[in-house]
Amino acid sequence: MSEFMNPKYISLKEYTPGEQPKGTKFIKLNTNESPYPPSPEVIKAVSSDVVASLKLYPDPDCSELRDSLAEFYNTGSENIFITNGSDDILNFAFMAFGHKGAVFPDITYGFYKVFCELHTISYKEIPLNEDFSISPKEYYNAGRMVVIANPNAPTGLDLPLCEIEKIVESNKDNVVVIDEAYVDFGGETAIPLTRKYDNLIVVRTYSKSRSMAGARLGFSVASEKLTKDLNKLKFSTNPYNINRMTMAAGIAALKSHEYFKEKNEMTINIRECTTKRLEELGFYVIPSKANFIFVKHKRISGEKYYNELKNKGILVRHFNGARICEFNRVTIGTEDEMKIFLEKTKEILENENI
Ligand SMILES: *Cc1c(COP(=O)(O)O)cnc(C)c1O
């Protein structure tokens, strides 16, 4: 750090993104990207005309994309807020609504804590149950902003909508953020509840279920008032946060719902098959509603399994936290990728005489 850095950031520990390896060819099962390309409509939409129009700023209100999303999710354009990846929405939500503090599970998306530290928000982490499930009651009347990833990451476990509703209902004086990055892989969305509760923000991303992690596109659905608050911060930061190519791709993706639905169903099927095969090999696999599984084996450490897979050309995600260091998070890839993953896993276990 230079001597010029504002001292308030000296102790800030930034988020560590999953590795994006260059050069060596890995089977990449570490950052929950889709293994499938965006739909043909999306690829066509980013045309040379759109590229030629890059000389002009994009629409800061994202009107066309907001209208498309509003129609798709059966809500109003005034309820949609759009950012450069959903991490930006989370950042703005912590900035806008975190002044009374925030609460989230002890094991969840690592970025929540970073945003709290960035904005000097006091936060409380509620331990997950022994089986890594969330106890909804512990979030009732929290007296501060509540943030829950549903399905949760890196566990993949989800809460039913009725439990989410009780949390929202009991926190009328505070904002509840439901991060639905993985909801398209089998969870229940809370978007319909945004019509009933004006303290709820549902955060979504194109990065996982719409195969567009590289485009950087996220959006939220919330009451008009909350959406205006978020927009105030966006227009005070970076009004042109969505570039023209991403905007065109985002609109086209909504027109290819069938394509993405089919791909997501494939991911769900492959997830269930992979889970079964791993269980047969003696793994403990947390039942997942996401495009990844969280797995551990009694007889090989999480770190060793991670390193052995890496040696064999497969990258998964290992975390160091006390309760999760024996686990690895494995993104569900294509059928072929998962076949290789299972073969290599078998080899690793055999070499360990397991
Ligand atoms: C991937 C992810 C996000 C953010 O994705 P963006 O690429 O910034 O849209 C948000 N929350 C969770 C839980 C995620 O896993």
Q: What pLDDT digit, counting tens, does each position of 206-262 carry?
A: 999 999 999 999 999 999 999 999 999 999 999 999 999 999 999 999 999 999 999
State how far the Cα of 304 lies from the Cα of 313, in Å rounded to an integer. Answer: 14
The whole-number pLDDT of residue 247 equals: 98
Q: Are 89 and 218 in contact (CB under 8 A)?
A: yes
Q: Whose CA is nearest to atom 11 of ligand 1?
A: 181
Is the minimum distance from the CB of 29 to ligand 1 under 6 angstroms? no
* Residue 325: other Cβ atoms inside 10 A: 14
- Tell me how many degrees the CA angle 220-229-90 measures, rounded to the nearest 5: 45
- Checking if the pLDDT of 336 tops 80, the result is yes
Average pLDDT over residues 101-106: 98
- Checking if the pLDDT of 18 tops 90, the result is no
Question: Percentage of residues in the chain with pLDDT exceeding 70?
Answer: 100
Q: Are 341 and 333 in contact (CB under 8 A)?
A: yes
In terms of phi and psi (left: phi > 0; alpha: psi -120 to 50; beta: otherwise), the region of 36 is beta
Is the minimum distance from the CB of 213 to ligand 1 under 6 angstroms? yes
Runs of H (alpha helix) within 255-311: 257-280, 302-311
Mean pLDDT score of the chain = 97
Closest atom of ligand 1 to CA, residue 32: 1
Is the minimum distance from the CB of 205 to ligand 1 under 6 angstroms? yes
Using alpha carbons, select from 241, 194, 234, 195 the residue that is nearest to residue 215. Answer: 241
Is the minimum distance from the CB of 181 to ligand 1 under 6 angstroms? yes
State how far the Cα of 173 lies from the Cα of 200, in Å rounded to an integer. Answer: 11
Average pLDDT over residues 320-332: 96
Question: Which residues share a beta bridge with 284?
Answer: 296
- Checking if the pLDDT of 191 tops 80, the result is yes
The whole-number pLDDT of residue 79 equals: 98
Average pLDDT over residues 99-107: 98
Closest atom of ligand 1 to CA, residue 205: 9
Question: Percentage of residues in the chain with pLDDT exceeding 90?
Answer: 96
CA of 1 to the centre of ligand 1 (A): 28
State how far the Cα of 105 lies from the Cα of 292, in Å rounded to an integer. Answer: 19
At 89, list the tokens: 């929405």
What does the pLDDT look like over 147-169, one tens digit per residue?
A: 999 999 999 999 999 999 999 99
CA of 86 to the centre of ligand 1 (A): 6
Q: In which band, very low, low, confident or very high, does the pLDDT at 25 lie, cut at 50, 70 and 90?
A: confident
The Cα-based distances of 258 to 45, 70, 183, 222, 265 in angstroms read 17, 18, 16, 26, 10
Is the minimum distance from the CB of 97 to ligand 1 under 6 angstroms? no
- Checking if the pLDDT of 24 tops 80, the result is no
In the three-class reduction of DSSP (H, G, I as helix; E, B as strand; rest coil), residue 187 is classed as: coil
- Tell me how many degrees the CA angle 252-258-264 measures, rounded to the nearest 5: 105
State how far the Cα of 57 lies from the Cα of 299, in Å rounded to an integer. Answer: 56
In the three-class reduction of DSSP (H, G, I as helix; E, B as strand; rest coil), residue 142 is classed as: coil
- Checking if the pLDDT of 19 tops 90, the result is no
Phi and psi for 284 in degrees, rounded to 5? -95, 120
CA of 354 to the centre of ligand 1 (A): 36
The Cα-based distances of 17 to 86, 102, 111, 319 in angstroms read 14, 22, 10, 12
The whole-number pLDDT of residue 84 equals: 98
Closest atom of ligand 1 to CA, residue 90: 10
- Checking if the pLDDT of 62 tops 90, the result is yes
Q: Are 168 and 198 in contact (CB under 8 A)?
A: no
- Checking if the pLDDT of 272 tops 90, the result is yes
